[in-house]
Amino acid sequence: MGLFAGTSDGLKLRNFSLLLVATGLLAAVFADVQVHASEPWGHLGTMLQGLFSPSVSDVQGLGLDLFYTLSFALLGVSLAVVAGLLLSLLYRYPIVRFICAFFRAIHELFWALLFMQLFGLSASTAILAITIPYACTFARVYHDIYQHAPIKLAQLPELADSKFSHFLYVLLPQVWPQMRSYLRYRFECGVRTSAVLGFVGLPTIGFHLETAFKQGDYSYAGALLLAFFLLIASIKYWLKIYLLPLYIAIALWFLPRSEFTNSSDNIWRFFSADIWPSVVKNVELSVLEKLSAYAQWLNSLMLEQGLPGIASTLLLSLMALAATYLLCIILVPLLNCIRRQWLMNGFGQCLLLVMRSTPEYILAFVLLLLLGPSMLPAVIALAIHNSGLISYLLQRDITTLETGTEVTEPGSFSVFLYKTMPNLYSKFISLLMYRAEIILRESAILGVLGVTTLGFYIDSAFEDFRFDRALALLVITALLNVLVDQLSRKLQLCFSDQGIRVRSKD
């Protein structure tokens, strides 16, 4: 009855889901989602044949790629966690919150493109590109974790003198397990990011992966991907917090030495001259004239590149969100049904691992080679990665849900439909909203591969040494992301509240 009552939570969720799919389909009408390749299936066959027969001629080279990928991730994430910890303590100030949201909204690849102008293809570029957005993410997540500490500082008023001591004795011991597990998760993300940084030329596994795919050396690409998956899967076995200092020391010692030298004059010139349009630098103009000229310049940039870029980014995000939803709707029940069959279940779990471990960027790159240049590869890549992650998280919840209750037929479709899904659906939508911001962030960056999202215009501006344009577009991208983040957070809260209400009714 609740479903037809008009204002029930179930109806709201259903309507929202339909809206999500409808907007995705509508976006597809306006976007280019054609297959432009002549023989995609044949090409896929050749590619899979190569990927499943991995071979590597230069083992030492592969080892070095993996080592640099790990080193950059390790140093970047370590610096980020220290900075993020400090920022999390200041996160209650709106200005810190805004700066973090803004810096976090700029993708690591964009940071890499930016730092490359200052430090070249060096370790500093790779490490800073990871550190800055990750530090801001740590700040937000750690701040959120503090809010959920069971005992708050205010509850121990007689001890309320030193904030630092409170943090050390009251807050940190309570939330340390969550912080540690988030650090592990972020490290895994760091390794993925570090790999992708290779696509802009940094010496990580992505660099050789791009070359191997472009040259059609799929066996080598297969070996690289296999090594990458093994690396990700093995993290939990060797990443111990107490061993971190040793790992950091090794990573620092063997970092690649860069030939690139940059004087402080160059850095100063980049910030004082390169990133500003020529109209602003014209000394003959007054301040007011400069401002007006800058506004005019910005206006034409917005019309020519900003607005088309924003439109494409949003179209791609909406399609990817709808595709992620649909893929999850198929995957979760399917995986639930095969849970009891160990062989099929093992296959399902491996599939999920590959789906969620492969960075969207790499997936999009490979699909672009297969399907030709359109938005379709990007949509599929985003849907595969995000549905892999969401399905994995939901599956974990299904297991927890069933352990505490009496389930007559675990894994049966009826139980799933009448018990599991009603309990988890609001969480599913809330997770999807959480990923919406990340999907938008990735949609923008996939432009670097040629899809005409904001990233395409930013990358072109960097290639043409038009740093003024690049920076202005980066700011636009970041602001768009901050906006969508706010919206998705609101929706997320709305649906997680519903989840609580639904559960409390049970």
Partner 1 sequence: MLFELRHCSFSYHSKLVLDDICLQIGTGESVAIVGQSGVGKSTLLNLLASQHSANIAYCTQDRQLISGLNCYNNIYLGKLAQFGAIKNLFNILWPNPQALQEVRAIAEQLSIDDKLQASVGKLSGGQQQRVAVARAFFQQRPIFLGDEPVANLDSVKAQQVLQVILERHQSNVIALHDRDLALRYFDRIIGLKQGKIVLDAAAADVSQQDLQQLYL
**Interaction between residue 159 and partner 1 (CB under 8 A):** yes
**Interaction between residue 63 and partner 1 (CB under 8 A):** no
Q: Which stretch binds partner 1 (CB under 8 A): 164-172, 390-398, 435-443, 470-478?
A: 164-172
**Interaction between residue 157 and partner 1 (CB under 8 A):** yes
Q: Which residue has the tokens 């310049």?
A: 297
Alpha-carbon gap, residue 46 to 418, rounded angstroms: 43
Restricted to residues 136-155, the positions that interact with partner 1 (CB under 8 A) are 150-151, 155
Q: Site for partner 1 (CB under 8 A): which residue of 21, 56, 83, 172?
A: 172
CA pseudo-torsion sign 445, 449, 455, 461: positive
Alpha-carbon gap, residue 142 to 176, rounded angstroms: 10
**Interaction between residue 176 and partner 1 (CB under 8 A):** yes
Q: For partner 1, give the closer residue by CB, 156 or 273.
A: 156
Tokens (6 digits) for 74: 């390790």
Q: What Rg value do the Cα atoms of the chain yield, rounded? A: 24
CB of 270 to partner 1, least distance (A): 40
Judge whether 104 and 136 are in contact, CB under 8 Å.
yes
CB of 151 to partner 1, least distance (A): 6
Q: Which residue has the tokens 């799929």?
A: 218
**Interaction between residue 173 and partner 1 (CB under 8 A):** yes
- The letter for the amino acid at 262 is N
Alpha-carbon gap, residue 447 to 107, rounded angstroms: 12
CB of 160 to partner 1, least distance (A): 7
Q: Site for partner 1 (CB under 8 A): which residue of 38, 95, 158, 342?
A: 158
Q: For partner 1, give the closer residue by CB, 170 or 382.
A: 170
Of residues 14, 11, 19, the one with CA closest to residue 321: 19
Q: Site for partner 1 (CB under 8 A): which residue of 8, 23, 124, 174?
A: 174
CB of 148 to partner 1, least distance (A): 13
CB neighbourhood size of 246 (10 A):
10
**Interaction between residue 241 and partner 1 (CB under 8 A):** no
Q: Which residue has the tokens 């060096």?
A: 122
CB of 248 to partner 1, least distance (A): 20
Restricted to residues 289-308, the positions that interact with partner 1 (CB under 8 A) are none
Judge whether 385 and 355 are in contact, CB under 8 Å.
yes
How many of the chain's residues bind partner 1 (CB under 8 A)? 21
Of residues 77, 182, 53, the one with CA closest to residue 126: 77
**Interaction between residue 161 and partner 1 (CB under 8 A):** yes
Alpha-carbon gap, residue 239 to 242, rounded angstroms: 9
Site residues (vs partner 1, CB under 8 A): 150-151, 155-162, 164-166, 168-170, 172-174, 176-177
